Structure formats: structure tokens, C-alpha cells
Amino acid sequence: MNSVVVHYQEVALKGKNRPWFISRLVANLRAAVADLDVRSVRPLVGRIELTLGPTAKYDEVRDRIQHVFGVANCSRAGRSGRSLDEMAQAILADARDLEPESFRVSVRRADKRYPLRSPEVEREVGGRIKQARGWKVNLDNPALTVGIEILNDHAFYFFGKDKGPGGLPTGSGGRVACLLSGGIDSPVATWRMMKRGCQALLVHFHSYPFLSRASQEKARELAALLTRYQLHSRLFLVAFGEIQRQVVLSVPAALRVVVYRRLMLRIAERIAKDQGAGALVTGEVIGQVASQTLENMSVIGSVASLPVLRPLVGMDKEEIVAQAERIGTYEISIVPDQDCCQLFTPKHPATRARLDEVLAAEGLLPVEELVAGAVAAAEVEEFAFPAAATPAGEGTRG
Ligand code: ATP
Ligand code: MG
């Protein structure tokens, strides 16, 4: 069985843009397996086929595919002729080591001119397997589903399906700039935007040399992990400690968190525009902490002209943690660090900052100078997966 059949999210990919989505997905799959022995990746009516070379390991290829957004599921598959006997024989040959409690055959015809209808093929091939192996048929809840897909000049067959990550192909949703702290929430927020097809640019604020480099290290680890899903990431490390020090000198304690956040958004927005990103993304959640009230979010968000997207806004902490664990960011996020939020942060931030008060406080700061200085001094790091691959989802804007 030298093929892998990849199915994409049918519903999401309907409509006029479908061919474009599919070509994007094919390009992303190619990039994701670029360093493995995969001979070809090509679209075949309604599915994508990867052809494995002799040294490719399916488990490794599957792991790569399971990080490519837009994939609904994949299966290791064999090719056979289209007659009932050819299909049944090929299946029986490759099922030698299988001994399922029960099974069924499930057929899809990509070629609707095929003389038999799907249920008939299921019955016929299923009957031959049952006769040869004595397996029990269970149509409703089979231990093994033998899949058959009949195309124009051959059939695919496979045993079960491995679930993909869903979502939309990276690069199909445009570019966004994600504010990535070392916390639990923002990596999940970033991942959710990536899942919707966005190429995520990462912006991390640190307080080195006021605090240790630990938060930068976490941001790098998170960037490396998230890069498995988009294959290429750009991480901006922005020094924020000196800005915080200046805020402390002139801004009343209660307003500082809101002023920090507005400065972060201003800086991130400038980087975003410079990089062709169309929105800012944060991990804010309504009511999660004192600074994340509706009032504060609106005062914070109003400083940006780009839309500020908050994909986690309505989620419970529990739900976010569960998602972080599934993605693998949780373990990195809970490592203690010295986040810049801990530096110069008051115990009791205002829960309802008023815009006029915030503007008055900011009036005492050299805002433009601070923002321009931070952007100019930002350090940029590139991440790629697999290590030497070409960027996926990166059009000509690279
Ligand atoms: P997180 O777990 O993402 O840090 P949080 O619940 O700790 O979120 P806050 O610290 O109030 O929330 O931060 C709100 C959002 O602001 C974060 O989700 C993130 O998008 C952004 N943010 C906060 N600190 C930083 C930072 N040091 N670098 C980049 N973005 C940050
Ligand atoms: Mg935080």
C-alpha cells in the first residue's frame, strides 16, 4: 500500500474558491513532507493522493499530515483495478495480518458512471471478504471499516481513517499578527487563527534586561511548536521593559495595565502593517482577569485601526487549558517565567478604565517615540518546519 489518500473538509471548501483552496492545500502538504520519501502529492477528484517511496514510514507521513490544516482525515491506501474481484483480492492480500472483531465495507464512487452502485459494491466485496476470512459484518458499529473509492481508472482501498486537524489551508485566510505572551491563552488564540487558514506572525514583548530571558525562550519554544502547523513563522521579540519603566513614572497605578496593553497594540500594529498583516490577535477572554472587562477591552482595542481579534473571548479557562494540552502548548506555557506583565504591574488594575483618563495619562508619555523605538529595535527570528523547507502558504508576499 504505497499511497496515502487525504480527504479535506468538504463543506468548508465548497464554492468558487474551491480549486484555489485545494491547490493551496496540495502545496502545503508538499511542503510538510518535503524532507520525507514522498514521490508525489496530487489532487484527484475530491481527494489528494500522496505516493510513498520505499523508505517513507506511514506513521511519520501521517504525523505531518495531521498538522496540515484543511485535512479532514487520511488513510494509508492501496491501488487496485476496478472490478469486484480485483478489489476484493487486493484487499484480502493486504488484510492478511488483520483480525478485526467485526467489519464493514464503505464505498464511494468518484466516477458515477461505474456500473454498480455503492451499496452493491459494498455487499459484493464485503461478501467476498466474509467468505474468505469469516469476519463478522457489523454495519452500524464496525471495529474495522474497509474503505473503497472508485475513481476513473482505478480504485483506492484502505483500512480505517486517521483524523486530521480540520480547519482551512494555511495561507487561505490572510495574515494576522498574534500577540504571543508566555501564558496559556495566547498560543491557543494563535493556533485557532492558524486553523482558520491565517498565516500567523508572532509578536512577543519581553522585559529583558529588567527580567530574565526566560519569557523569550518560552516564546521561541511556542513559536517552534506552532510552526509545525504553518511551516514557517516569523517571531518579533520586542523589548518592553524600558517602556514599562517610563509608564510607571507618569501613569497612575490603576491605569498602567491598560496603558501597557495599548502600547503593545500600537507596536504590534506597526509591525503588522509593515508585514502585510490585516488584523491583530490576542488571547483575551471576557472576565478572566481584572484587566479583561468589556470596558477595558474596548479602551485597549480602540487604539488600533486594524481589527483586534480575540478568538478565545467566550471560552472558559478549562476549555482553553484542554485545547492547550491537545496542541502541546500547555506544557511550555506553565513553565514559570518572569513575564513582562509581572514587572511594574499594580495589584489592583482599574476594571473600568475610562478612555479620557487613559488619554490624559498617555499625554504625558512620548508615545510616538516609544513605539517607533521599540519597532526599530525589535529582533526578528525565523522558524521553519521541516527545518529546510520552503515556506507553506507564503504567496508572493514572503
Ligand atoms: P496569556 O495567557 O495569553 O498571557 P492572560 O490571561 O495572561 O493571557 P493578559 O496577561 O492580560 O492575559 O494578556 C492579554 C493578552 O495580551 C494576551 O493573551 C496576549 O495576547 C497579550 N499579551 C500579554 N502579555 C504579552 C506579552 N508579553 N507579549 C505579547 N503579548 C502579550
Ligand atoms: Mg499573560
How confident is the prediction for the chain on average, in pLDDT?
A: 93
Does the pLDDT value for residue 240 go beyond 60? Answer: yes
Residue 394: per-residue pLDDT: 46
pTM as predicted: 0.92
Name residues with Cβ closer than 5 Å to ligand 2, which is an ion.
181, 183
pLDDT tens digits, 57-106: 999 999 999 999 999 999 999 999 999 999 999 999 999 999 999 999 99
Does the pLDDT value for residue 172 go beyond 50? Answer: yes
Does the pLDDT value for residue 11 go beyond 70? Answer: no
185 within ligand 1 shell (Cβ under 6 A): yes
Pick from 190, 213, 216, 207: nearest CA to 341? 207
Residue 349: per-residue pLDDT: 82
Does the pLDDT value for residue 166 go beyond 60? Answer: yes
pLDDT tens digits, 188-211: 999 999 999 999 999 999 998 888
In angstroms, the Cα distances linking 48 to 77, 213, 266 are 12, 44, 42
In ligand 1, which atom is closest to the CA atom of 261? 16
CATH of domain 175-397: 3.40.50.620
Strands 47-52 vs 38-44: parallel, antiparallel or unpaired: antiparallel
205 within ligand 1 shell (Cβ under 6 A): yes
Domain ranges of the chain: 3-163, 175-397
DSSP classification of residue 137? B
DSSP per-residue string spanning 44-84: ETTEEEEEE-TT--HHHHHHHHTTSTTEEEEEEEEEE-SSH
CA distance 33 to 304: 38
Q: How confident is the model at residue 339 (pLDDT cuts 50, 70, 90)?
A: low
- Which residue(s) pair with 3 in the sheet? 51, 77
What mean pLDDT is predicted for residues 284-289? 89
Cα(121) to ligand 2 centroid in Å equals 56
Domain 3-163 of CATH type 3.30.1280.10:
no
Which of residues 208 and 332 earns the better pLDDT score?
332
Residue 9: per-residue pLDDT: 83
337 within ligand 1 shell (Cβ under 6 A): no
pLDDT tens digits, 115-146: 999 999 999 999 999 999 999 999 999 999 99
